[in-house]
Structure 1
Amino acid sequence: MSGRTRPYILLVEDTPTLARSYIQFLRDEPYEIHHVELGKDALRSFEDRRPDAILLDLRLPDMDGMDILQHVSEQDEGVPVIVITAHGSVQTAVTAMRLGAADFIVKPFSADRLKVTLKNVLETNKLREIVDTYRTEIDRGGFEGFIGSSLPMQAVYRIIEAAASSKATVFVTGESGTGKEVCAEAIKNRSPRRKGPLVAINCAAIPHDLMESEIFGHVKGAFTGALGEREGAAHMANGGTLFLDEVCEMDLDLQAKLLRFIQTETFRKVGGSVTEKVDVRLVCATNRDPMEEVKAGRFREDLYYRLHVIPLHLPPLRDRDDDILKIADMFLRSYAEREGRKFRQFEPAAAAVLMSYDWPGNVRELQNIIQNIVVLNDGETVTADMLPGPLAQIDRSAIPAAMAAVPDTQASSEADARVHGKPTVQALSDDIRPLATVEREYIEHAINRCDGNVRTAAALLGIAPQTIYRKRTAWEEEDLASSAAE
């Protein structure tokens, strides 16, 4: 529902007496009702003002109500439609619901029936919008090139979304391979500068004596080898975003010129005398601790405070829980399609190794390893034996033991039946225990066999680590309640 005080209801009914009856039914309800008799008027009204719900008679003199339903569903599936139908056309109403109708009412109906149906549809739609908001703003599985739904990444998404509309400088920190350039692209894509350029410079990859020219450009003859005039990144990023990666690697002399550029938005090309003014949004990044660089005298303090307006830290991959498997799965499918391989999934043992590894190279290292697997192997499932490099050195002895140690309850039950014949009710109650009890024992057994490593146990069980943490909290509360009762 919208933010209006009273929900706005569009009533589409070609019989004036029935329309008046429906409006009378709802006279004491907090609704604003607009009535139209023709389908063309319903479509026009829908375009002029988005209703919170539509009461739609399918039999209209100028068009089929199904066409209106289809139009509404295609244009805005968030608007619920209640179909009004006669006794003999219930099957038509069912078809309408398959096409997107929220509910239907069979003529003739009482005031209470109309009130309850409309109230339920509005409340259901409100809950759906709340869930959609939660999924898109709070529990997102990905965001502007990022993949992952872990809590640390949800915080990153919210900061990017909040900071994007501003021109304030964003200072991104994080280990190498965590996605700092992806972050810069996300900020640009969510900003009013989305149509402008994103110009990226890696300050660690360019020699110090050429860095000034890379940023500000140079004129012909400015230095040996300057055979012509060249535009720098600051000019090319005009109207857009300039991304300076590994900014702490910048020479101190150039840091002073960058500070002046930030303060005035003006610069001169190397060897030039003309001052240029540009409109640039600056995003910086480093894999170092910038404050430590300031204390060590390698980074200007005044520049630090100019750049460190909106700090944004990207978490290392090892702290992102089951995002590891989501990202690995994305890379696996992408590289399999590119290389013409059949890979679609990871076996539990391989997934457990991925979850237990620390990933010092973060997402970039994971990407390289998955590409290595796809290029050198083939099959539908990635096995632990296919894992290369440091992952191949991980001790996997506990992983098959954890899987093999799970008791085969079905086999033992069948053996018991063979020995004792048809089991009694008492025998069944001894053999068949509550599912919740078995689940708890199974999860705790897996955790113990994995030496307390919840992430590894979760990977083997095929569930998210958060699920285990949530269940363990509930078990602790149950145990406390049970102890108090005793």
Structure 2
Amino acid sequence: MKPPQIPVLVIEDTPSLQFVYRSVLTAAGMVVHAAGSATEALQQFHAVRPGVVVLDLMLPDRDGLALMSELLALNPDLYVVVMSAQGSVDRAVAAMRAGAFDFLLKPFEENRFLGAVLAALEAADEDSAPPAGQPAKRRPAATGDPSASIGSSAAMKEVHRVIGSVAGSIASVFLTGESGTGKELAAIALHAQSPRARGPFIALNCGAIPHDLLESEVFGHMKGSFTGAIADKPGAAAAADGGTLFLDEICEMAPALQTKLLRFLQTSMVQPLGATRPRKVDVRIVCATNRDPLEAIRRGTFREDLYYRLHVVALHLPPLRERGRDAVEIAEVALRRFGAEEGKSFIGLAPGTQRILLEHDWPGNVRQLLNVMRNVAVMNPGGLVTPDMLPPELRIRPAARPDPAQDPLAGLTLAAIERRAIEAALARHSGSVPKAAHELDISVSTLYRRIEAWKLR
């Protein structure tokens, strides 16, 4: 089927990419115009009046978000498909909040790119000609997985599969994974593929807000409800009405607020501080933590009933060291992007460089890898990236892994290691459960349950 003949404006400052995007869309039968800067884009916009804009957020003469805001102000019915590199995911999130129809995370497959633009064209076509006597149709939800192009390892394919399976549900999703593994990106993908995609995506970092202000940030407050409350504040839960509320570092939430969050999950009612009446909101909860939530429950810092209320669907984001050649794939993509931003041309990674990237443990995960590639792009003139172009700390070979034959824990399951640790503690304290529990920093009741479970087996 021939796509609607609504003009499409592609705004991309890298000539080779602009050529590729334009060729793909033209071959699909679209009317395509292109611009390489914000200045040129505004000229084209006034000349051709596009219904769809494909916008790269990184432009040489102006911030992409500012340009998008101006274009939407000129034409509120415009459909904007945003393109973003991994290193600017936060800006892509801001674009979605500001009215972007969809966003693509570079690099992306041709079918994903074509599908996003076609969806925007079809939506623009429907809005331009609603049935007689009826209002224009509401824009459909943005579809597509913004994390789909970040690596092709089996671990990430499973992440993409789970996201695709649960995105359409209203169930709460509990994301776990080390810092820098992309938990917020996964939350964005869940939102972008859900029926709520045209609604707000509100992210709140529970660990970055002082405990005495967190309740106000989540549930809001009324003017005068406490010292400094000079105006009404809706709070994140109300702001996310009709969309998704992402609670990052959920295990850092104060116990008192956990009780109120549990009540909110049970009733969907929000009552700001100082308000006399609650109001109902429609919010999907996605939360994340880089800690072990079960350990937080054991320590008494996280409510068990809240955990099970939130833990409807679990999704673990694997660390980069467990993702095979994803480190090389991500590095190559980042190198091209950062090189273009710096006005330099890099042709790839030498075999020795790839080996170093694959052998590194990446304690900071993808975030650390991106910083390394940014360093390479800034500190070197271009060409093939050889090992000597990497930061010094990466060129130091990692310590040799312990020989399994000399490691008494090698080959043991986590349960077996736990049992060994408990039995050793009991032996050190002549079988005293309270003393062993104190040494292991667990409750006496938990230790008794472990021992009883072993007896039953």
Give the structure-1-normalised TM-score.
0.52
Q: Does 1:279 align with 2:282?
A: yes
1:292 matched to 2:295: yes
1:145 paired residue number: 147
Tell me the secondary structure at the aligned position of residue 231 of structure 1: coil
Task: Return closer, same or farther for 1:300/1:149 CA change in 2, 3 Å cut-off.
Answer: same
Query: Which residue does the alignment assign to 1:269?
Result: 272
- Residue equivalent to 1:51: none
Cα distance in 2 for residues equivalent to 1:375 and 1:308: 42
What residue is the counterpart of 2:191 in the other structure? 188
1:54-83 CA deviation, whole Å, 9 max, x = no partner? xxxxxxxxxxxxxxxxxxx958xxxxxxxx
Distance in structure 2 (CA, Å) of the matches to 1:352 and 1:390: 15
What does the per-residue CA deviation read over 1:360-403, in whole Å, with 9 as the maximum and x for residues that have no partner? Answer: 1100110111111111212211111111152032279xxxxxxx
Describe the shift of the 1:266–1:358 C-alpha distance in structure 2 as closer, same or farther (beyond 3 A): same
Q: In the TM superposition, what are the counterparts of 1:41-80 in structure 2 within 5 Å?
A: 74=28
Deviates more, 1:226-235 or 1:278-287: 226-235
Residue in 2 that maps onto 1:244: 247
Q: Which residue identity is paired with 1:295?
A: R
Deviation (angstroms), 1:227:
1.1
1:368-407 maps to which residues of 2 (within 5 A)? Answer: 368-394=371-397
Are residue 353 (structure 1) and residue 356 (structure 2) matched?
yes
Q: 1:183–1:395: structure 2 CA closer, same or farther, 3 Å change rule? A: closer
Deviations 1:95-128 (A, max 9, x none): xxxxxxxxxxxxxxxxxxxxxxxxxxxxxxxxxx
Instruction: Indicate the residue corresponding to 1:340 in structure 2.
Output: 343
Report the secondary structure of 2:346's partner residue: coil
2:342 and 2:194 mapped to 1: Cα distance?
36
Counterparts of 2:384 and 2:283, CA distance in 1: 47
Aligned amino acid, residue 220 of structure 1: K
Residue equivalent to 1:175: 178
The separation in 1 between residues aligned to 2:218 and 2:296, in whole angstroms, is 22
Structure-2 change in CA distance of 1:395 and 1:285 (3 Å): closer
Please list the CA deviations of residues 386-431 of structure 1 after superposition, one character each: whole Å capped at 9, or x if unmatched: 11152032279xxxxxxxxxxxxxxxxxxxxxxxxxxxxxxxxxxx
Letter in 2 for 1:348: P
Choose which of 221, 229, 234 in structure 2 pairs with 1:231.
Answer: 234
Cα distance in structure 1, aligned partners of 2:305 and 2:388 = 52
Match of 2:157 in 1: 154
Residue 162 of structure 1: how far off its partner (Å): 0.7
Q: Distance in 1 between matches of 2:238 and 2:297?
A: 28
1:211 aligns with 2:228: no
Matching of residue 365 in structure 1 with residue 375 in structure 2: no
Larger Rg: 1
How far apart, in 2, do the equivalents of 1:250 and 1:378 lie? 46
Output the CA distance in 1 between the equivalents of 2:256 and 2:170. Answer: 25
Give 1:238 deviation, angstroms.
0.5
Aligned residues: 265
Q: Call closer, same or farther: CA 1:320–1:143 in 2, change over 3 Å.
A: farther
Counterparts of 1:288 and 1:275, CA distance in 2: 32
Percent of aligned positions with the same letter in both sequences? 53
User: Counterpart of 1:268 in structure 2: which amino acid?
Assistant: Q
8 A Cα contact 2:220 2:234, kept in partner:
yes
CA displacement, residues 460-485 of structure 1 (integer Å, 9 cap, x when unaligned): xxxxxxxxxxxxxxxxxxxxxxxxxx
- The Cα offsets for residues 206-244 of structure 1, whole Å up to 9 and x where unpaired, read as 111111111111111122211111121111111000000
In the alignment, is the contact (CA less than 8 A) between 2:255 and 2:301 conserved in 1?
Answer: yes
Matched AA of 2:339 = A
Alignment of 1:295-306 (within 5 A): 295-306=298-309
The alpha-carbon distance between structure 1 residues 261 and 249, as it changes in their structure 2 partners (threshold 3 A), is same
Residue type at the aligned position of 1:144: P
Q: What amino acid sits opposite 2:369 in the alignment?
A: L
Q: Is the 8 A contact 2:174 2:313 kept in 1?
A: yes
In 2, the alpha carbon distance for the partners of 1:216 and 1:204 equals: 16
Moved more, 215-224 or 250-259: 215-224
SS in 1 for 2:300: coil
SS in 1 for 2:203: strand
Amino acid at match of 1:261: F
Query: Letter of the aligned partner of 2:224 in structure 1?
Result: G
Alpha-carbon deviations, 1:290-311, whole Å to 9, x = none? 1111111110010000000000
1:198 paired to 2:204: no
Q: Supply the distance in 2 between the matched residues of 1:145 and 1:312 (Cα, whole angstroms).
A: 14
Relative to structure 1, is the Cα distance of residues 175 and 394 closer, same or farther in structure 2, using a 3 angstrom cutoff? same
Query: SS of the counterpart of 1:218?
Result: coil
How does 1:100-179 map onto structure 2 within 5 Å?
Answer: 143-146=145-148, 147-179=150-182
User: What letter is aligned with 2:321?
Assistant: R
Q: TM-score, normalised by structure 2?
A: 0.55
1:143 Cα deviation (Å)?
4.3
